[in-house]
């Protein structure tokens, strides 16, 4: 067998151990040689078991300190610290062992001071030399079209990113920009801090930078917006690393370079929740989620599973959505008792069978139609799904003794101007008033638009930009509230844990965002210029659409709760007998497709609601023009 093949059979770890043990023997010999070199008349002597004891003791210490777990290719300060710790402890242990063996016969005390110094050099030198050789070799193999990169943020994340990029042949780090005064004139991994964030455009121009990398995982949304605005001024492409909460939640990997998403600019700071109370509500409970394959429903399922529910039932009428979410949940939570039910919530027979067999304890009712323009001409479908289906599920929850029932509602139910909003408001009224006639706690949670939910404005704009435009906005002044899907679901869980029954909870949506500004920002994030490369077209407000959304009715007297991002509205009571009579009449009208009677019933329940005259069956618009800014 050739020497090359023989070396190939040697495991790298074995080679490392053999090297370190050989250096141990060499260091011990050199240490004694140096000691006796000062007194040449003395004769160097070695005891019979001296070398085996040194070898055995130092090898055990190296294994205990974890020195063999390190990789020479990435040798760094932690590895040097391990070496120093290992050689010092090894010297002490060897001294104790030799003392017990032969009372340190022939071993001068000064050897124990020379030995760790020599061994540290013999172990650290080859490691650093090997890393330098590998890095230099990588430099020689790099493509000549290297991008010059400026890192925005010189904290720990920026430092680690610069080291990682140093091993990547595609990028060359020019330096950093950071606002901390302590970093003025500093150098990190050999790269200088060139200025403050406010000087970013000038620094990028003077340093001839090709790309900007934002390394601010712990920054607030406001800070990210400011930095992105400065990056936009440079006209250069820019990327970022994931937010800290995304890394912790497992949604991204640290130092994974990605494009800046609109969620990074519209999201809010991390929500502080009372996870103990939430877990107490869900742990060992049987939970049912309707509409579990939708944007909000699927995220609710993930969080319920993560929080230790005993079992989870997912009700969904879309076959593909149900397949997708159940497959994901079974892969991520194999211990969870999971049941996927393909059914419409308005199917009384199917729902009754499900509730009687499963006996859920907590129900999240997220199933609903939500598309405002489309539902304007689909009154029966909207009422059937958003009201009658809610009634079916709510009544069955009372019948089987569900402890907690949460209705997912929308800000469009406040002073509704659309069919969708009116139907959701009727559903709210029913659940609020039903709470007084049952032991089940009924709660309603309202919030506005959810970023990147199915059929919402963000994926529509993204598709329109990808197609080259135009981006369609209904009105230059139209505004909407936005919230991320995980944040909305976390706050839904929090409201379920603090609600006593009969409440309307509204989530703090932050500041409203102009849809025009949203469109312009998304165009810039795509590397295009709004208005020139990607035109923006204003199509006019559609039937039932508001310029500004509201979260409360003036008569609801909203107040704060124990959670800073959750508000409580006092619901308006409706005669229970009148409510049941009108809903029964509406159900009869639905059965015979009598939309005029449905209109009268809704008008009786919502006297202030005004029907849009242009909500005609023929007002179907092309999918390209539908830019729904709707909640789940």
Average pLDDT over residues 442-462: 77
Is it the case that residue 142 has pLDDT exceeding 60?
no
Quick one: residue 595, left, alpha or beta (phi over 0 = left, psi -120 to 50 = alpha)? alpha
* Whether residue 336 has a cis bond before it, omega within 30° of 0: no
Together in a domain, 128 and 163? no
Domain stop point among 80, 110, 139: 139
Check if the beta carbon of residue 89 is closer than 8 Å to that of residue 62: no
pLDDT, tens digit (0-9, with 9 covering 90-100), for 563-622:
777 888 766 678 889 999 999 999 999 999 999 999 999 999 888 888 764 443 333 332
Helix, strand, or coil (residue 233)? helix
Together in a domain, 327 and 430? yes
Together in a domain, 494 and 359? yes
Check if the beta carbon of residue 365 is closer than 8 Å to that of residue 405: yes
Distance CA 378, CA 33 (A): 95
Range(s) of the domain holding residue 350: 284-449+484-507+552-619
Higher-confidence residue: 608 or 419?
419
Taken in order 275, 280, 284, 285, the sign of the CA dihedral is negative
Phi then psi for residue 504, to 5 deg, are -110, 120
Q: Which of 312, 306, 309 is nearest to 280 (CA)?
A: 309
Task: Check residue 607 and give its pLDDT.
Answer: 86
Distance CA 58, CA 223 (A): 51
Structure-block tokens of residue 363: 């129900």
Higher-confidence residue: 512 or 400?
400
Together in a domain, 501 and 360? yes
Task: Check residue 39 and give its pLDDT.
Answer: 66
User: In residues, how long is the chain?
Assistant: 632
Distance CA 82, CA 564 (A): 47
Domain stop point among 78, 106, 139: 139
Structure-block tokens of residue 386: 């958003």
Task: Check residue 255 and give its pLDDT.
Answer: 55
Task: Check residue 46 and give its pLDDT.
Answer: 65
Together in a domain, 82 and 65? yes
Together in a domain, 252 and 307? no
Average pLDDT over residues 158-186: 79
Please list the residues that pair with 569 across neighbouring strands. 504
Together in a domain, 245 and 228? yes
Check if the beta carbon of residue 176 is closer than 8 Å to that of residue 154: yes
Is it the case that residue 278 has pLDDT exceeding 80?
yes
Higher-confidence residue: 384 or 40?
384
Check if the beta carbon of residue 370 is closer than 8 Å to that of residue 632: yes
CATH number at residue 341: 3.40.50.720
Confidence of residue 626 (pLDDT cuts 50, 70, 90): very low
Distance CA 149, CA 32 (A): 51
| DSSP secondary structure code for residue 169 in this structure | T
Together in a domain, 39 and 7? yes
Query: Which residues lie closer than 8 Å to 218 by C-beta, 6 or more apart?
Result: 155, 157, 244
Average pLDDT over residues 242-254: 57
Task: Check residue 284 and give its pLDDT.
Answer: 86
Together in a domain, 436 and 560? yes
Confidence of residue 355 (pLDDT cuts 50, 70, 90): very high
Task: Check residue 441 and give its pLDDT.
Answer: 93
Of the segments 152-156, 246-250, 602-606, which one has the largest average pLDDT value?
602-606
pLDDT, tens digit (0-9, with 9 covering 90-100), for 206-233:
888 888 888 887 777 778 888 888 888 8
Query: Which residues lie closer than 8 Å to 399 by C-beta, 6 or more apart?
Result: 355
Together in a domain, 59 and 192? no
- Give the DSSP H or E segment for 13: helix 12-37
Task: Check residue 105 and give its pLDDT.
Answer: 74
Query: Which residues lie closer than 8 Å to 403 by C-beta, 6 or more apart?
Result: 285, 361, 362, 440, 441
Helix, strand, or coil (residue 342)? strand
Is it the case that residue 136 has pLDDT exceeding 80?
no
Task: Check residue 157 and give its pLDDT.
Answer: 81
Together in a domain, 158 and 130? no
Phi then psi for residue 363, to 5 deg, are -125, 130
Confidence of residue 263 (pLDDT cuts 50, 70, 90): low
Please list the residues that pair with 339 across neighbouring strands. 313
Give the total number of structural domains in the chain. 3
Check if the beta carbon of residue 540 is closer than 8 Å to that of residue 470: no
Check if the beta carbon of residue 243 is closer than 8 Å to that of residue 217: yes
Please list the residues that pair with 367 across neighbouring strands. none
Is it the case that residue 313 has pLDDT exceeding 90?
yes
């Amino acid at each position: 067998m050739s020497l090359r093949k023989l070396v190939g059979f040697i495991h790298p770890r074995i080679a490392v151990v053999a090297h370190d043990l050989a250096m141990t023997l060499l260091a011990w010999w050199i240490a004694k040689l140096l000691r006796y070199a000062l007194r040449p008349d003395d004769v160097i002597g070695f005891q019979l078991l001296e070398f085996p004891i040194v070898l055995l003791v130092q090898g055990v210490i190296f294994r205990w300190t974890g020195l063999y777990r390190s990789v020479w290719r990435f040798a760094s300060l932690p590895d040097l610290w391990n070496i120093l710790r290992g050689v010092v402890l090894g010297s002490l242990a060897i001294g104790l062992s030799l003392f017990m063996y032969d009372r340190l016969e022939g071993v001068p005390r000064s050897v124990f001071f020379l030995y760790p110094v020599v061994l540290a050099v013999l172990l650290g030198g080859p490691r650093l030399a090997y890393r330098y050789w590998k890095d230099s070799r990588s430099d020689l193999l790099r493509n000549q079209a290297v991008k010059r990169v400026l890192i925005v943020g010189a904290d720990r994340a920026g430092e680690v990113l610069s080291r990682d990029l140093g091993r990547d042949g595609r990028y060359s780090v020019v330096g950093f920009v950071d606002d901390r005064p302590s970093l003025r004139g500093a150098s990190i991994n050999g790269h200088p801090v060139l200025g403050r964030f406010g000087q970013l455009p000038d620094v990028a121009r003077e340093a001839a930078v090709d790309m900007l990398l934002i390394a601010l995982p712990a920054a607030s949304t406001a800070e990210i917006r400011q930095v992105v605005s400065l990056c936009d001024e440079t006209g250069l492409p820019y990327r970022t690393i994931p937010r800290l909460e995304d890394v912790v939640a497992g949604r991204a990997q640290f130092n994974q370079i990605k494009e800046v998403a609109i969620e990074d600019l519209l999201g809010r700071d991390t929500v502080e929740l009372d996870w103990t109370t939430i877990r107490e509500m869900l742990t060992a409970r049987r939970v049912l989620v309707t509409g579990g394959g939708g944007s909000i429903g699927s995220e609710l399922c993930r969080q319920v599973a993560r929080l230790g529910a005993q079992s989870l039932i997912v009700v969904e009428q879309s076959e593909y959505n149900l397949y997708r979410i159940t497959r994901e949940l079974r892969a991520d939570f194999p211990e969870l008792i999971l049941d996927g039910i393909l059914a419409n919530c308005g199917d009384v027979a199917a729902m009754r069978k499900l509730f009687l067999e499963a006996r859920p304890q907590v129900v999240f009712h997220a199933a609903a139609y939500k598309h405002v323009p489309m539902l304007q001409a689909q009154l029966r479908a909207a009422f059937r799904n958003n009201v009658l289906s809610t009634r079916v599920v709510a009544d069955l929850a009372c019948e089987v003794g569900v402890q907690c029932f949460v209705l997912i509602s929308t800000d469009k139910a406040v002073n509704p101007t659309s069919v969708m909003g009116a139907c959701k408001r009727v559903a709210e009224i029913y659940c609020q008033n039903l709470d007084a006639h049952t032991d089940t706690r009924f709660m309603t949670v309202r919030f506005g638009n959810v970023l990147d939910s199915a059929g919402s404005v963000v994926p529509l704009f993204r598709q329109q930009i990808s197609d080259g435009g135009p981006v369609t906005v209904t009105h230059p002044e139209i505004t909407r509230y936005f919230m991320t899907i995980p944040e909305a679901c976390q706050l839904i869980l929090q409201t379920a844990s603090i609600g006593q029954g009969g409440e309307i909870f509204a989530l703090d949506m932050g500041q409203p965002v102009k849809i025009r500004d949203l469109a312009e920002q998304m165009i810039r994030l795509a590397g295009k210029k709004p208005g020139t490369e990607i035109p923006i077209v204003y199509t006019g407000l559609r039937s039932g659409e508001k310029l500004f959304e509201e979260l409360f009715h003036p008569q609801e007297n909203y107040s704060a709760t124990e959670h800073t991002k959750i508000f409580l509205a006092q619901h308006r009571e409706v005669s229970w007998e009148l409510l049941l009579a009108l809903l029964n009449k509406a159900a009869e009208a639905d059965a015979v497709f009598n939309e005029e009677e449905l209109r009268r019933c809704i008008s009786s329940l919502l006297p202030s609601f005004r029907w849009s005259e242009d909500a005609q069956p023929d007002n179907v618009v092309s999918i390209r023009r539908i830019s729904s800014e709707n909640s789940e």
